[in-house]
Amino acid sequence: MNMKHLIAAFIGASAVTAAIAAPDTYMIEPGHTYPSFEADHMGISVWRGKFNKTSGTVTVDRAAKTGTLDITIDATSLDFGNDKLNKHASGPDMFDVAKFPNVTYKSKSITFNGDTPATVNGELTLHGVTKPVVLTINKFKCIQHPMLKREVCGADATATFNRGDFGVKYALDMGFNPEVKLAIQVEAVKQ
């Protein structure tokens, strides 16, 4: 093999390797993504709410076992299934959506269990405060979507955090437990 052919083969092999190892980018599918949460109500019941509008991107490089997660939640889409509670929770006592219309989560790193993402170490920004929060990925699966004719990945992720750490201190002095359980069902379409 002469030098010209050797260089061409090297460039071709490098291009194939780069294509295989390149991270895949997915756009959050807002019609199939709903962050929800559970919060204590005076120790006598658990209130559950969700957000109806979410956007963002996910990248996954399975070969390198790396990725990124960048999610924006529209806090004004808060929904407890109770109009009176929605109005109160959206106000200054809790989420204060007029002042803080978005909740964001940005990954710092993703750990894998084999070929599957297992945890995301990132930062949650809620109520204008940014703190580290670890998401545990309980389920992750990608399929060739039969209707979209593209790869779609889905995940179920959970986390627990103290809402008081984010400045959402309403009724903590009345005995409300500050622990919030976050659950995110997410689907994202490969770009």
Q: Which domain holds residue 42?
A: 23-190
Distance of CA 109 to CAs 20, 43, 51, 53, 96, Å? 21, 35, 25, 25, 29
Asked if the structure places residue 6 within a domain, the reply is no
pLDDT for the residue numbered 2: 54
- Please return the burial class of 119, using the count of CB atoms within 10 Å of its CB with bins 0-12, 13-18 and 19+: middle
CATH of the domain at 108: 2.40.128.110
Asked if the structure places residue 2 within a domain, the reply is no
Q: How many domains does the chain have?
A: 1
pLDDT for the residue numbered 22: 84
**Is the CA virtual torsion 90, 93, 98, 100 positive or negative?**
negative
Asked if the structure places residue 1 within a domain, the reply is no
Asked if the structure places residue 13 within a domain, the reply is no
Asked if the structure places residue 52 within a domain, the reply is yes
pLDDT for the residue numbered 81: 95
Global confidence as pTM: 0.86
Which residues, given as ranges, of the chain have pLDDT below 50?
3, 5-19
pLDDT tens figures, 133-179: 999 999 999 999 999 999 999 999 999 999 999 999 999 999 999 99
Long-range contacts: 62-66, Cβ < 8 Å, 24+?
Answer: 62/24, 62/115, 63/20, 63/21, 64/21, 64/23, 65/110, 65/112, 65/115, 66/23, 66/109, 66/110
